[in-house]
Amino acid sequence: MSPDQSQTAYAASAADLALRALDALHGVGGTAMLAEHVERSDDPKAALAALRIVGADAFAPYLLSDMVFHPQDAAAVAQSFAVFQPSVSPPAAPPEGAAEPWLVAWRDWATAALLERFADPRTVGGLAPQPTGAPMLTAPMLTAPLRDDTTTHSGHAGTGWQQWSVRMGQLSPLALPQLDGPVHGAARAAPQALARGATRAMLRRDYPTAARIARWLALLASENVALPLDPEPLVEHLRLHGGGPRLALDVAIARRLLGPETT
């Protein structure tokens, strides 16, 4: 199989897994959702790649509903790390390093942290990576500017709110309960930048980006952080818009974070 064909197969399997997670959030499906995704796949390697792509969001039904995490699910996630091994050393944060490896490292950190929380070490047989060595967030990432330029409030060179909010959207799989770290601290420190980013994405009809940023706003709302906008109408508009299983899963997670009245 060519690299392009592999990527296509991985993306298709990831979309299928996102749909499974969405169904599970709604109470549809059986036990051991993640293991079942691998076992029933015609391409087990693509199914394992999907577990790495969907990452921490595959745990959403276990965090936000009554679904019980199964030992077979833990083994499947651990196997995905064994087949698609993460970087040994944390990559440099942008702009010193490329953005994608840095983003992947943070998403891997979230997946490993949740696997460690849910799994019995005896079940995963030492295959699960430890959620240590998380990539460092540079000052521009930790201090989101609220102006249109690329200068932080302290006067140092930084990341503009537009780029910062998009980057936070790319880290939306971390916007889940029972995860906490520097990325979450960055979100709590800059709700206005997140609100502006979500609004800008909606005006541009970039609904996937809007949904990813809306998850951070929903998480902050669940923590009673003061927000410059009400995220519920935003999330409801995104729900009505549709746009595929990945966007639908982001919206469903956001709605769960906002509380039972929105589900």
pLDDT by position in tens, the chain (length 263): 667 778 899 999 999 999 999 999 998 877 889 999 999 999 999 999 999 999 999 999 999 998 889 999 999 999 999 999 887 777 877 878 888 998 998 999 999 999 988 887 665 555 555 554 455 443 334 444 444 444 343 333 446 888 899 999 999 999 999 999 989 999 999 999 999 999 999 999 999 999 999 999 999 999 999 999 999 999 999 998 877 899 999 999 999 999 875 55
What residue type is assigned to position 189 of the chain?
A
> For residue 219, what are the domain limits?
137-263
User: Structure pTM?
Assistant: 0.87
Cite the DSSP H helix spans in the chain.
Answer: 3-25, 33-39, 44-54, 60-64, 71-83, 99-118, 121-124, 139-142, 161-170, 182-189, 191-203, 207-222, 231-241, 245-258
Overall domain count for the chain: 2
Domain boundary at 134, 169, 199, which?
134
For residue 62, what are its two tokens?
Answer: 């276990």
Residues 178 and 207 in one domain: yes
Residues 130 and 143 in one domain: no
Domain boundary at 134, 157, 189, which?
134
Residues 24 and 102 in one domain: yes
Residues 44 and 145 in one domain: no
